[in-house]
Structure 1
Amino acid sequence: MELDEEVLPGCLSWQKIKCEQKFQSSRICPASVYNIVKRQLNVKLASFERQRGGTWHLEPTHGGAYRVKISAYATKTISEMRRSLEELIRGRPINHPGLSPRVLQHLPSRDGVILMRKIQHETETYIILDRHSLTVRICGSEEKIATAEQELVRSLLAYHKRQQLEIRLRGPHLRPDLMKEVVNQFGPELQGIKEKVYGVDLKLNTRYHVIQVHGSVEMRQEVEKIVYELAQEVSEPGGKPDDIEVECPICLCKVDDGYSLEGCSHLFCKACLLEQLEVSMINFDAFPILCSHTDCGAPIVLADMRALLSQEKLDELFRASLSSFVTTSDGNLWFCSTPDCPSVYRVAGPHKPNLRSE
């Protein structure tokens, strides 16, 4: 065993060293996915070790996920195994022809999230939704993925059909009190509309400002025509005394690119609401964020923030809200002093840190 024509200490000249390259790779598996694919993952890794001579190691990370490390003596083996792992961890894409973007846009909503959780619980799968590209993947065994896909497609198409038979009484181009006008004109059971559209069954959802139509698409179109004719009627000059408000309560100018708040239906310029939210990110005294309409003060709800802000800005607003909550706790709450640690702790005992600088 020689190196640079010299025999290594403790070795004989006829002995040889055999060197081989070993390649490694790793893949992070989120805890939510790992809990579903744990059995398939172990089977796949054991097969990799048995058939291809590779080795693997599974370890938890600090964030609660799991890191899968694989190693082998050939890059092709590593590549094939990593591809197989990614297919398992990422899940199978759902490409049903009926799931158009208009149908998939229901999934990020409150009802859509509830639907996904229900299917996950019943089928022991995990559904991954990409909110930006509106694509869906399902993790789990092949049989359970097929069951989950079938139920997701069926339920989502049925929900979309129901939504198509709804008439919204609140929106950026509708007067804030349209539901009130509809009730005044046609009654709380909408009997006046039922008398005009034969055979239609209607239900008014006062919480979400929606008329639910039980009937055909043609019936919905007739009801919608009646409702929006009323909306146009009461908005015209000389119609009813309480004409639609066109001034934004923030800039006091005519509403431009309007947005109606979910909680109170007051109409604002979208740019003014964006400015109000962005100012709140740097001014801790701005929390809680409330409607600025005179004598309103209703909170601006999460649905509005999600509709107006990007995910990055929304995260920034959440951090500012937490900081405001901590700084206004009269010293009862403090951020952890460890660098880069976002945790908050409650001060124990009667003694609190002195905030005054000497």
Structure 2
Amino acid sequence: RKIDFIKYTEDGAIFAVTYAALEQARIALNELNGYVEQDHKIAVSRSCVKNAVNVSKHNCHLKAIWYLTSSTGNGRILFNKEKSAHDAYDLFKRLHYRCRYEHVTNLPTVKVTYCFVRSNGKAFINFQSRLDACNARRRIHFLETAKIVGNRRNHEASLLLEGFSKDDDEEDIYSRFQDCKGFIGVHILRGIKGQVFQRPDSAEARIKAIFSHYKSFQQDTILFNPKVSNGRVEAIVQFSDRRELQEAVKEINGKTGIIGHGRVRLSEQFHKQKEEVSANKEDEYVLHFERVDRSFDKYDMIKILKDNQLYDDVKHVVVYRQKLKEKNLITTGINTGESDIEAALENLRSMFHSKLDLFRSIPEYQPPFCAPDGTVTTLIIFNDAVDITTAIQNYDNQVIQLLKSSSKLRLVLSIVHQIFINAALTKVIPNKIQEAIQYTREKYKRIRIKVISLGTEEKTAPMKIRIEGDDVQQITMAKIVFDTLMKGMEYRYKEDPGKIRFLFDRDGAAVLQKIQNETNTYISCSYSYLFLRIYGDNQAPDTAAKCIDEYIEDILKHRDFTTTLDIPKGYLRQILKLGTYYQDTIGKDFNVKIIIAGAKRQIQVIGKQQDIEKAEEAIKKHWSETLIEQQSVPKENTTTTSNECPICYEVANYTLLECGHVSCLYCLKQELSKKFDTTLSNQSFKIKCIMQECNSVLSLRDIKTIIDPPDMQRLARASFQAFLKTDTDIVQCMGTDCKQVR
């Protein structure tokens, strides 16, 4: 489904490969691991990141989105980086979008209000009762007139005031009547009845002009209220120096003739957040849009950003829509919104079911959810991931019919990943886990990360990290962050990576457990692929690696080497009869251990390197001087009619049940004891007849007869380990102190 580059290493590179089907991943794991391509060996391991649900259940989700309300034509894009915001601003300006740039910071701000339409000299002063309005008439100034009128805006009465100065604004009149009983508010008449006000294009330049002589004035961060009412402009401007801001308020507030008609009002704005929250809040870079094509939604804006490589630093995109208005169910009996949703859902089903031959699975639909702005979202579930791509290619950005209208249909991939961290890891790498969570939350703003503790003790309990969203790129990058965390530090012995096999026995497991406890680390072992991973905070993994190095060096210093000599053809019978001589005489003389493997026609010499070389020379000399090649070479494949053991050539005393070949119990027991090794593969572990050309598997009766009862448990453990190497559905826990399988 996808290939993601992770990082370069000293001898290659690491990639994450995602498959749509589990079986395909298994095939790749088995066939690619160890494969040599252009002299480079490929190493493949299972990923620690898993899907949210079992692969046998639904795991392919598609979000279908449509709209019950129209766009307001306004929107905004939030960026993490200033340069990206400026580049996007230039792009949309070239595309003739009406937009403005805002830098949102914690700098001191001031609200600027002025009127760009002259007052008509009339104002409604609203009161709760007619008596309150009558009592307020005594506040009327000379040359002003006032009369009491009814109010259509749910007020009992209003005082219509005329003849006041045209420079007076709402604040002037408010200050005169605010302490009157029953006073509600003031509305000054401007323009003509029914007039729609729009902010003048010159507003930004005029505001910059009145503040330009203040050095700390931030001229690039002027923010306008998109709603213009009653001919008044509202804007927010910022200063880097609060003292200059206060000076500007003192010099300009309430003055006339500076900008617009009447007085200009300045008021310092204070952040509602607590100081500690404000101090940690990141700067935001915002593009505000006005009069955007009403057919546009946020996905159209996202497409423009992606096409121009400007989406990486986007935090949020929104196109505002009108609020959904529900009709009164008592009077109409019909909920228009619900009817539109049902009609759209039915049409959506028809679209998908009309071309079922396009899909590999039949889609299922979850109940839709409607937001207050009329955006409806439903989840479509497929059993095959390929169907999601097919659906997007065929139906995204199409038109879907509602009850009495239509809407644009959006199909968006919905992704959920879950990372499970066991209790041992949460105990030894708590800091790294928190750093990874914090990093992904700060770096990838368009996805959601939820942390769930699976136990009562948060610091030591297993943990589940849930990553979800519809941004494929950011979810993939977040997945790689946690995947890298879960890989830990791969241990390699400095001189020969193959020497790591010394750790995969009972003594090695005990040493690893001791190192874990002493260094506060967790060591994960793979018996199948012979590698270790070390997990820990700070320098703990390096300390553990040094301890492992010291253990391996100590083994190499004191360990025995093994050399294998092939027995020349025709010498086997005489060597078997002289077995005591080799083991007691040559072995003791040179301080080595000698094992005669009759079935393999080999002699193994075990000991120190210099002692082995001397013993090997003595054995070969004995062969050339003492042993006489037999004129009649015995048959190497004894039939069932022979009464000689094919290994030691003594009289056979046991007949195998399945194939009928004969041997002696002692030789059979020696051969089967070699199967106690838990590192054997399933093929190497196969217990069969010792005759070279016979592949008959020994019966359980034969095995129980040959093996001593105390050794049956060792054989069973080795058999189970060999089985685990072939069955990918069952794996053993990689911890050195855990014997569980799953």
Whether 1:260 and 2:671 are equivalent positions in the alignment is yes
Out of 38, 42, 45, the position equivalent to 2:430 is: 38
Instruction: Decide whether the 8 Å contact of 2:423 with 2:463 is kept in 1.
Output: yes
CA distance 1:302–1:19, shift in 2 (3 Å) = same
Matches within 5 A, 1:141-290: 141-165=537-561, 184-185=584-585, 192-193=588-589, 202=591, 213=607, 217-223=609-615, 245-246=648-649, 250=656, 251-253=660-662, 260-262=671-673, 270-272=687-689, 280=700, 290=704
Larger-gyration structure (1/2): 2
Q: Which has the higher strand share?
A: 2
Q: CA deviation at 1:74?
A: 3.1
Whether 1:93 and 2:158 are equivalent positions in the alignment is no
CA deviation profile, 1:158-202 (whole Å, cap 9, x unmatched): 42454344689xxxx9x999997667547xxx7x515xxxxxxx5
Equivalent position SS for 2:539? helix
Provide the residue aligned with 2:706 in structure 1.
292
Letter in 2 for 1:252: H
Out of 306, 317, 332, the position equivalent to 2:718 is: 306
Letter in 2 for 1:222: K
Matches within 5 A, 1:310-329: 310-312=722-724
Equivalent position SS for 2:466? strand
Instruction: Decide whether the 8 Å contact of 1:37 with 1:88 is kept in 2.
Output: no
The CA distance in 1 between the partners of 2:606 and 2:500, in whole Å, is 21
Letter in 2 for 1:90: K
Letter in 2 for 1:271: K
Matches within 5 A, 1:79-118: 79-101=476-498, 103-118=499-514
The CA distance in 2 between the partners of 1:179 and 1:122, in whole Å, is 48
Instruction: Decide whether the 8 Å contact of 2:500 with 2:530 is kept in 1.
Output: yes
Instruction: Decide whether the 8 Å contact of 2:592 with 2:615 is kept in 1.
Output: no
Whether 1:49 and 2:446 are equivalent positions in the alignment is no
Out of 436, 449, 452, the position equivalent to 1:58 is: 452
List gaps (5 residues or longer) in structure 2: 1-66, 71-322, 329-336, 338-371, 378-411, 456-460, 565-571, 594-603, 631-644, 677-685, 728-740
Out of 312, 322, 326, the position equivalent to 1:9 is: 326
Provide the residue aligned with 1:346 in structure 2.
none
Instruction: Decide whether the 8 Å contact of 1:55 with 1:72 is kept in 2.
Output: no
Q: CA deviation at 1:9?
A: 1.2
CA distance 1:297–1:28, shift in 2 (3 Å) = closer
Q: CA deviation at 1:39?
A: 3.3
Provide the residue aligned with 1:70 in structure 2.
467
Equivalent position SS for 1:271? coil
Count of residues in Structure 1 that have an aligned counterpart in Structure 2: 275
The CA distance in 2 between the partners of 1:107 and 1:70, in whole Å, is 36
CA distance 1:47–1:95, shift in 2 (3 Å) = same
Instruction: Decide whether the 8 Å contact of 1:263 with 1:298 is kept in 2.
Output: no
Instruction: Decide whether the 8 Å contact of 2:324 with 2:374 is kept in 1.
Output: no
Whether 1:139 and 2:139 are equivalent positions in the alignment is no
The CA distance in 2 between the partners of 1:92 and 1:178, in whole Å, is 52
Whether 1:26 and 2:418 are equivalent positions in the alignment is yes
TM-score normalised over the length of structure 2: 0.30
CA deviation profile, 1:307-351 (whole Å, cap 9, x unmatched): 797224999xxxxxxxxxxxxxxxxxxxxxxxxxx9xxxxxxxxx
The CA distance in 2 between the partners of 1:9 and 1:84, in whole Å, is 45
Letter in 2 for 1:57: V
The CA distance in 1 between the partners of 2:530 and 2:617, in whole Å, is 32
The CA distance in 1 between the partners of 2:578 and 2:426, in whole Å, is 49
List gaps (5 residues or longer) in structure 1: 195-201, 205-209, 281-285, 316-341, 343-358
Q: CA deviation at 1:298?
A: 5.6
Letter in 2 for 1:29: I
CA distance 1:264–1:93, shift in 2 (3 Å) = closer
Instruction: Decide whether the 8 Å contact of 1:178 with 1:231 is kept in 2.
Output: no
Q: CA deviation at 1:41?
A: 1.0
Equivalent position SS for 2:711? coil
Q: CA deviation at 1:77?
A: 2.6
The CA distance in 1 between the partners of 2:529 and 2:415, in whole Å, is 34
Q: Which has the higher helix share?
A: 1
Q: CA deviation at 1:218?
A: 1.8
The CA distance in 2 between the partners of 1:178 and 1:34, in whole Å, is 60
Bigger shift: residues 306-315 or 130-139: 306-315
Q: CA deviation at 1:297?
A: 5.6
Q: Percent identity?
A: 13
Letter in 2 for 1:56: K
The CA distance in 1 between the partners of 2:420 and 2:517, in whole Å, is 23
CA deviation profile, 1:136-170 (whole Å, cap 9, x unmatched): 222222411112222223322442454344689xx
CA deviation profile, 1:19-65 (whole Å, cap 9, x unmatched): 8977432122233333322332133213433454443222439xx95
Instruction: Decide whether the 8 Å contact of 2:68 with 2:375 is kept in 1.
Output: no
The CA distance in 2 between the partners of 1:104 and 1:145, in whole Å, is 16
Q: CA deviation at 1:69?
A: 1.0
CA distance 1:259–1:105, shift in 2 (3 Å) = farther
TM-score normalised over the length of structure 1: 0.54
Instruction: Decide whether the 8 Å contact of 1:28 with 1:66 is kept in 2.
Output: yes
